[in-house]
Amino acid sequence: MDPYNEEDIKMYFFENRLKTFEGWPFDEDCKCTPENMAKAGFIHTPSENSPDTAMCFFCLKELEGWEPEDDPQKEHKSHSPSCHFIALKKKVEELTVEEFFKLQKEKQKFILNKSCNENITKFEEAAKLKRADIIKRATGEE
């Protein structure tokens, strides 16, 4: 895991996040325009079933089911109050190198946490299946 991966670093910049919103279902006359979504740190991560899924590039919080009146800044803050990106008081371009490295360290914590949680979930699901299999064998229900 490279914390200074070029593709990853690109998402700190508004223009690169904005480019991900091709095909975004909300455009004019609403609060969750591609511009407002990108300003709030989101990138568009659609799936077949959810064309309006967006994820914060920093804290990795995914949100879907957007409504035209949803304010991306407020939604981001309410669903991920510990996100350091949404709490920034200045533009990325104005950060010192030290501030950027501190921010990147916090981002790595989000990445590690998400990865660990996904692995724990996989392990628990596998353990549940194995337990059911053992019980079947022990009771002769094969």
Delimit the domains of the chain by residue range.
6-139
What's the rounded Cα separation, in Å, for the pair 38 and 36?
A: 5
CATH topology of domain 6-139: Inhibitor Of Apoptosis Protein (2mihbC-IAP-1); Chain A (1.10.1170)
| Contact predicate 29/52, CB 8 Å | no
**pTM of the predicted structure, to 2 decimals:** 0.80
Strands 62-63 and 54-56: antiparallel
Strand partners, 43: 55
Tell me the pLDDT tens digit for each residue of 2-27: 656 677 789 999 999 999 999 998 98
Question: Which residues in the chain land under pLDDT 70?
Answer: 1-5, 142
From the list 110, 93, 108, 112, the residue with the least C-alpha distance to 3 is: 108
Q: What angle do CA 92, 107, 88 make, to 5 degrees?
A: 35
